[in-house]
Amino acid sequence: MRSWQHTLTLFISLMAIAALAWHGPIAQWPDYHAFADQRRWLGLAHAADVLSNLPFALVGLWGLVKLWPHRHAPALQAGWNGYSLFLVALMLTAAGSGFYHLAPDDARLLWDRLPIALACASLLAAVHADTHGSRHLIELAVCAVLSVLWWHCSGDLRPYLALQLAPLVLIPLWQWHAPRRDRLAFAAAIGLYAIAKVAELADHPLLLATDTISGHTLKHLLAAAASWCIVRSLVARTTRR
pLDDT of residue 177: 66
- Spelled out in words, what is the top-level CATH class assigned to the domain 42-237? mainly alpha
pLDDT of residue 174: 83
Number of H helices, E strands in the chain: 11, 0
pLDDT of residue 4: 57
Note the Cα 163 to chain centre separation in Å. 9
Domain residues of the chain, as ranges? Answer: 42-237
**What's this model's pTM, rounded to 2 decimal places?**
0.92
Q: Which residues contact 210 (CB under 8 A, 6 or more apart)?
A: none
Task: Specify the amino acid at residue 226.
Answer: A
pLDDT of residue 157: 93
pLDDT at 241 over 60: no
CA-CA distance, 90 to 167, in Å (whole number)?
15
- Average pLDDT for the chain: 90
| pLDDT tens digits, 81-128 | 999 999 999 999 999 999 999 999 999 999 999 999 999 999 999 998
Is 216 within 8 Å of 35 (Cβ atoms)? Answer: yes
- Distances from the Cα of 69 to the Cαs of 78, 90, 119, 238, in angstroms? 15, 19, 21, 10
Any idea which of 25-29, 56-60, 145-149 has the lowest mean pLDDT? 25-29
Any idea which of 110-124, 132-146, 187-201 has the lowest mean pLDDT? 132-146
CB neighbourhood size of 12 (10 A) = 13
